[in-house]
Amino acid sequence: MAFQGASTSSLSSFTRWWTYDVFLSFRGEDTRQNFTAHLLQALDRKKINTYIDYKLRSGEEISEELLKAIECSRISIVVLSKNYASSTWCLDELMKILECRKTKQQKVLPVFYGVNPTDVRHQRESFGKALAKLKERFKNESKVERWKATLTEVAGLSGFTLGDRTEPEFIQEIVRDISKVVKPKYLNDVAKHPVGMESRVRDIHDILLRVGVNNTRILGIYGTGRISKTNLAKEIYNTFIDQFENCCFLANVRENSKSEYGIIQLQFTLLCEILGDWSLKVRNKDEGMGLIKKMLWSKRVLLVLDDLDQSVKVETLLGGCDWFGLGSLIIITTRDEYLLTSNNVHLRYKVKELDRDEALQLFSWNAFKNKNPSHDFVDITKNVLHYVGGLPLALTVLGSDLYSRDIQYWRSALEKYKKIPPKDILKMLRISYDGLDARRVFSWILHVSLQVRKKNMLLKYLMAVVSFLIVASKYLWISLSIPLVSGAD
């Protein structure tokens, strides 16, 4: 494999704005109608933006348009075929490609199609004959020597050799390795300040090690609303993405499934993201289930189903959790642990609130743009944390609201917070409790209210009471005979 040993960090130099993912250099008379056409088709299926020169070439000079395309391409694939060296256009193109490799850190991948890399390196067989003819034709020995040096250099790069494989297998390997670089699908919108994330990611890796990597692993990440389950799932997804060819992150499943064709759209997205074919049609839920089972059963996938609840039938996306190939990793995030139990998800991780030090860090990053509070605000920051606790969204909202304010504003604001929490936190609580059944809502609210009063955490108490009033309006029809949790520990 051409990218063996490549790491995410080693690819960081690729992070720039490219016009094209791939530039294809090839000898038209050798491969335009066969290998190159099939390779281009496979790249297109994976949505890899590829530049190919469809024009019939005339004259000796390479066009400005082609030079610009080479400069603006992230990777150049050089298809070295039998008659490649007989074209001065191809040789000049190759010189420009290797120049951009040095000046722009572009990746160059030679594909040895029906030729031996050693013959290219030492200009033997068809390559030697072609260069001998060019030497006679141009009477310019220095230019021919530069072409020779260029062929020697490209033949020394890690690339792809057809060997005894079939052409489809050969193309599949090329596209798979190209995809790892140009379309890694890393999720960039993770937490701006990932405080406490590293230790939680490490904990989850330890849990996953309990099951062999050749088995299908299904992990449930659960916890109360807005406690950063999604951000944690994104971090896990990013740490594993380079180990999987087939990846998909289905975000906001609960919310997206509510529309009339929500589940069908989710099935469509899952299929297209993994297969790379957006021409697929999913007409109904049952057809979607059949397509997923039929088309993905042998594929080793990395899949995240984000924010599930009991309203989403897991089998519509996963079947019996046996629709994917061995070695697959499936991650489910939910507020409802029972959903994991009912779907036989045995690997679980409960996301807890941030501890005191982590809460201080996250609040400080938002309120002071530093990991520690300013000297004059140390004591008042302790007061904030005393009743805000370790809920990431609350820390972020309050910290952002207090950023760049003077000490008087802080004191005034904190008095207001004790009476009425900021509207973003109230919205968060409404979202957190939506979807829970009445018995659990009433029981949980009473339990939390009693607990936070014991700890004198006034803001949490007020938040719980307000949330109770919001949710209660939805459940007035519930019988008063519903038993509630005892307040005793």
Active site residue 415: no
Closest CA to 240 of 183, 198, 301: 301
Among the listed residues 71, 93, 235, 273, the single catalytic one is 93
SS3 of the chain: the string is CCCCCCCCHHHHHHCCCCCEEEEEECCHHHHCCCHHHHHHHHHHHCCCCEECCCCCCCCCCCCHHHHHHHHCEEEEEEEECCCHHHCHHHHHHHHHHHHHHHHCCCEEEEEECCCCHHHHHCCCHHHHHHHHHHHHHHCCHHHHHHHHHHHHHHHCCCCEECCCCCHHHHHHHHHHHHHHHHCCCCCCCCCCCCCCHHHHHHHHHHHHCCCCCCCCEEEEEECCCCCCHHHHHHHHHHHHHHHCCEEEEECCHHHHCCCCCHHHHHHHHHHHHHHCCCCCCCCCHHHHHHHHHHHHCCCCEEEEEEEECCCCCCHHHHCCCCCCCCCCEEEEEECCHHHHHHCCCCEEEECCCCCHHHHHHHHHHHHHCCCCCCHHHHHHHHHHHHHHCCCHHHHHHHHHHHCCCCHHHHHHHHHHHHHCCCHHHHHHHHHHHCCCCHHHHHHHHHHHHHHHHHCCCHHHHHHHHHHHHHHHCCCCCCCCCCCCCCCCC
- Positions annotated as catalytic residues are 93
